[in-house]
Chain A
Amino acid sequence: MIRRSIPLLAAAAVPLLALTLGGYQGGQFAQFALYGVATAALALCWGFAGILSLGHAVSFGIGAYVAAWFGINVPNGGTLLGILVGGLTAGVVSLLVGLVGLRGRVNVITFALLTFVLLFAAIEVVNQLTPITGGFNGLAGVPPLNIGDTWTADPVAQRVIATIAAVCLLWSLIVVARSPFGGVLTLAKTHAIRAASSGYNIPAFRIGTFAFVGVVTGLAGGVFATQTQFVAPDQISLALATNFVLWAMIGSRTSLIGSFATAIVISFITNELADKFLSVWLLAMGLIFIAVVVLVPDGLAEAVLKRLPKRWRLNRMVELTTATEDVSGGGKSLEATGITCVFGSFTAVDDVNLSVRAGVHCLIGPNGAGKSTLLNALSGTVPPSAGKWRLGDTELTKMRPWQMARAGVARKFQSPAVAGDLTVAQNLAVARLGVTAHPVALIFAPWRADLTSTAWRILEAGDLVRLLDSPAVRLSHGQRQILELAMTFASRPTLVLLDEPTAGMTASETSRIAEILRTEAAGLDIAIVVVEHDMTVIRSAASAVTVLQAGQVLATGTVEEIENNSDVTRAYVGEGK
């Protein structure tokens, strides 16, 4: 009970602080809290979505300038309108930047440089558009927020309103970061293809997040303008953009509250020391930054959290239940014709036809025969150069991975792809929700998911149930394999593509998993394609086997037929076995 009310008390404390601090410092506090919001917004982008913006001051400056311009030029309540329009404008600009830079595969450095160039363009615009922006002189005389006759002229009331706005904006960022939506961003940060194969349109998630962060930062900038009552090119400068990055880095880019608090504290210190020892302070800041990078690369907040006793960590508990009924997959079969994958002059998969009925269909062949490439093609992660394939009546050929996931195709990758920053249970919930939940609904959804009984059986076979609340980064290689396999079966797929699911598992785990695959394929009437080298798995689970060699189908048939095929023995097992 006490722990639950801590966030509320903390939220109330921030405006109270603005109230109790003296006149000058109270005003400063409100302004720095708005810097803190912008820093936390950057942290959401950077620490959760893996997108670094070096031009974050652009959104803040747009918000400030638009709010100021409206406040000065629109009589009666123009400031409030200006704040809203400013937030929206910053959001639209961020959306456009996202549409340019965040489609397809994202290179963090390339995108950071794009935003850096944008910053210089924005600075240029502010300096040149003198009639609107006031050029170097900025815009003076921004009217305060109209909050009634008695309060509008009262700086203390203005300051409290501004800090309340800051806390609300910070809260909206925290809601996103801690929701399953934030979980999807975290998974996509390291394993974008895994997230896509769970049913998430990752570019849309990233662009949406970047636009949302733009809106929040723009709103913070607008409120900032009403506090200072003066907007200058400082609000869209290289110095401010750099500060946002430094504050988030020092505070912890994975902790929004840490980033928020760090921005306020460092701003205060800078302000206090600016008059007397500015140059010394800047040098000290540089040294602090270097010390943080070397000693606590994850930032101060993470360093503190790591040292707190376990019960003090506000770990989001995930409620995992069992799906009430196991719906039959309906025995849909996969029909693929003419699948061809060419990389430069190398043909990895060469005109392969594959027909997979319900049951476990093993795909074997020498290393480099094209097995993984074929799975990549069928799951849409690396679209083939030619070929068509369908699942039942559903044409899959042109689908993107997230669309395929929603059509019932599940995929497990060769090297286990799980989000180390999330707990085991969070990984499972993210994998489960992708197929059914709407992206926006994920922001407000609780961390709750109903896993299939298959997923639970896999978790039990790998003894992972006791580790549900551990961060996945603590798992061994083999445990990650189990987790990702359970994630693959978290929702109800009708076609499952598994790339060496038992690699790195012990013999007993392997035989348990083989048994699960066999019985679930039969019980649920679904098709499971497994790339496998372990003959014991193939013998115990496979209802059909296809052998690939040099990108072509060498043979296909039952396990017995394949084991008695001398071509296969020579190419795959070796002589005399």
Chain B
Amino acid sequence: MSLLAVQGLVAGYAGARIVDGLDLVIMPGEIVALLGRNGAGKSTAVSAITGTLTSMAGTVLIEDVNVTKAQPSRRFQLGMRAVRQDQPILRDLTVAENLRLVETSKEAAAESFPFLAERSSQRAGTLSGGEQKMLAVARSAANPGKLWILDEPSEGLQPMNVDRCAQLIREAAVRGVGVLLVEQHIGMALAVADRWLVMETGAVIDQGKVTANTFETVRRRLAV
């Protein structure tokens, strides 16, 4: 049984079909990299899959439960977790409070990102852009549910922290979590992913298993 099955998904804003017939499947323990140029519809697809945007057509199933019309909270109950692009942290709370809300400790989070322990009493909104991203990823990694969706987790991170972020994703997959990873950093995405999809004008135009040649194939696909 697939964790996530998306069929013929159509979504967009003000009548524009930004996602137009998207199909994708994620199995438990599998990391799927969703790649594509700017404006291809990746973030809109994430919004429609996570339920923050109402889809116009198509179906979204979580473990065969139809959640196409369901609220984000219902999808959360079924095990879907998401880290959106706009750094979903509680800006007015401290770092430690942000972590406590997802029932994790600063010590556990600091294993990936040590600064989270050192600066635990700082207000999260005053962290730098990259630090806020890491806090968001660490918060989500503490409880990635069954199906973990990340929209550009590596954006704005220094190389060392990109690696740590990749490590967190791998660890989750080893525990059986299915991961949908939206990335511009192809190197990072293909280093962790089992399968890749390339989106263009709202639909998947190419896909495959990650092999030694994938990087070149994908790069050529995106450069056209």
Contacts and interface: CB of A to CB of B under 8 A. Distances in A.
A477 B85 contact: yes
A364 B157 CA distance: 11
A479 B42 CA distance: 13
Interface in B131-168: 131, 133-134, 152, 155-163
Nearest to A306: B14
Interface string A363-385: 01111111111000000000000
B219 A508 contact: yes
A43 interface: no
Nearest to B12: A474
A518 B62 CA distance: 47
Interface string A491-520: 000000001100111111100000000000
A231 to B, nearest CB: 45
A376 to B, nearest CB: 11
Contacts of B127: 368
Contact of B38 (A366, A373, A506): A506
A500 B128 CA distance: 12
A369 B39 CA distance: 31
A476 B122 CA distance: 31
Interface residues of B, number: 40
B19 to A, nearest CB: 12
Contacts of A463: 37-39
Given A373-B128, A476-B38, A505-B184, A367 B222 contact: no
Contacts of B156: 367, 414, 500, 503, 533
A474 B222 contact: no
A339 B152 CA distance: 33
Of listed A343, A499, A506, residue having the most chain B CB within 10 A: A506
A508 B223 CA distance: 6
A507 B186 contact: yes
Of listed B133, B159, B163, residue having the most chain A CB within 10 A: B159
A312 interface: no
Nearest to A373: B128
B160 A574 contact: yes
Contacts of A500: 129, 156
Nearest to A343: B126
B14 A533 contact: no
Interface in B144-198: 152, 155-163, 184, 186
Given A504-B38, A504-B152, A506-B38, A478 B158 contact: no
A479 B157 contact: no
Given A365-B158, A368-B128, A474-B16, A505 B115 contact: no
Contact of B159 (A346, A503, A577): A577
A328 interface: no
A368 B159 contact: no
A115 B16 CA distance: 40
B38 A367 contact: no
A367 B186 CA distance: 21
Interface string A407-436: 000000011000000000000000000000
B160 A366 contact: yes
B130 A368 contact: yes
A150 B66 CA distance: 77
A546 to B, nearest CB: 15
A535 interface: yes
Contacts of A478: 37-39, 184
Contact of B158 (A306, A366, A414): A366
Contact of A506 (B85, B134, B184): B184
B159 A573 contact: yes
B3 to A, nearest CB: 26
A100 to B, nearest CB: 28
A572 interface: yes
Contact of B13 (A370, A474, A507): A474
B42 to A, nearest CB: 8
Nearest to B215: A507
Given A367-B128, A368-B128, A368-B130, A479 B159 contact: no
Given A474-B13, A533-B156, A577-B159, A367 B39 contact: no
Nearest to A512: B223
B38 A572 contact: no
B38 A573 contact: no
Nearest to B87: A415
Nearest to B134: A367
Contacts of B222: 506-508
Nearest to A413: B129
Contacts of A535: 159
Contacts of B223: 507-508
A540 to B, nearest CB: 15
B86 to A, nearest CB: 8
B50 interface: no
A506 B128 contact: no
Contacts of B68: none
Contacts of A346: 122
Contacts of A414: 129, 156
A572 B161 CA distance: 9
Interface in A551-577: 572-574, 577
Contacts of B115: 367-368
B98 interface: no
A405 B131 CA distance: 29
Contact of A509 (B38, B86, B133): B38
A458 to B, nearest CB: 13
Contact of A504 (B14, B160, B161, B184): B184
A108 B161 CA distance: 38
10 contacts: A346-B122, A368-B119, A373-B128, A462-B38, A476-B39, A478-B39, A504-B152, A506-B222, A507-B219, A533-B156
Interface of B: 13-14, 16, 36-44, 85-86, 115, 119, 122, 126-131, 133-134, 152, 155-163, 184, 186, 219, 222-223
Interface of A: 306, 343, 346, 364-373, 414-415, 462-463, 473-479, 482, 499-500, 503-509, 533, 535, 572-574, 577
